[in-house]
Structures are given as C-alpha cells and as structure tokens.
Amino acid sequence: MEQVGKTLTNLHEKDSLTQKKLGDILHISSNSISAYENGSRLPGLDIITAYACQFDVTIDYILGRSESTLSPSVMNEEFLAGVTVNTVVEKMQKLGPKQKEAFMMVLLNMSACAEFAKETGKGED
C-alpha cells in the first residue's frame, strides 16, 4: 500500500498539481487524495483507473507491477507503414537470444547515429 501511495504522489507532483487541484480534476476530496498518498487508505479500482487515465500510465505501473511509465496508447501507435508498436514488440519477443543480441546492437547503433545527427544538425537519415 505504501508503494501505491508513493506512486500516486509522484504522478501528481511530476505534473505540478496540488492535491486540491487533482481532487477537483478527479472529483474527489483532497483529504481522500492525502489518505491514498500517505497509505492510510487504499484507493478503489475506480480511483486507480482515474489516476491512470489522468496521468496516461497503466494500472500496473500504479500498483508497482511495472516500472514502465509508457502511455498505454503507445502500443497502438503506428511504428512504420501501418505496423503498430505492439506488432513490433510481439515480433521482438519471438526472436532467439542471438537474434535479440543482434537486434539490440543494431538498435543502439542506430540510436547513437540519430543522436549524433541531431547534435550536429545533419538530419535524421
């Protein structure tokens, strides 16, 4: 319960929202928010879902089951030419250990090249 409270606190502080302002947005009292954040009360699924929607994170992140703060909607975004991020991730999961290692080497190299191009103003290609 303590972890959930810390996560809820971090989410609203990251967006520079006070407990009162967040309470207004979520239609709950700032006293309730304080109780959730200090761990004296565990929020129900409806409140956890409201936090997840407000801060565009997963419920698993709030509950401490995932460290990813990626927006759930990212998985449905187009990666390239009609292929979603979710499809790319599914294909990566099917790779063998050596293929994953090669993929990571290529990805890290391409990321470094893109960063260099950005820093030097030479474009992204």
Burial (CB count within 10 angstroms: exposed 0-12, middle 13-18, buried 19+), residue 72: middle
Q: Do 83 and 106 belong together in one domain?
A: yes
Could you please report the per-residue DSSP string of 7-75? Answer: HHHHHHHHTT--HHHHHHHHTS-HHHHHHHHHTSSPPPHHHHHHHHHHHT--HHHHTTS------GGGG
pLDDT, tens only, 60-99: 999 999 888 888 888 889 999 999 999 999 999 999 999 9
Residues 10 and 68 reside in one and the same domain: yes
Q: Do 29 and 47 share a structural domain?
A: yes
58, 107: one domain: no
Confidence of residue 119 (pLDDT cuts 50, 70, 90): confident
**Residue 125 within any structural domain of the chain:** no
Same domain, yes or no, for 9 and 61? yes
Query: Of 35, 50, 72, which closes a domain?
Result: 72
pTM strictly above 0.75 = no
Is residue 69 within 8 Å of 57, Cβ to Cβ?
yes
Q: Give the total number of structural domains in the chain.
A: 2
Residues 24 and 79 in one domain: no
Q: 26 is written with which tokens?
A: 């979520």
- Asked if pLDDT for residue 36 goes beyond 70, the answer is yes
For 112, the domain range is 75-120
Residue at 113 is within a domain: yes
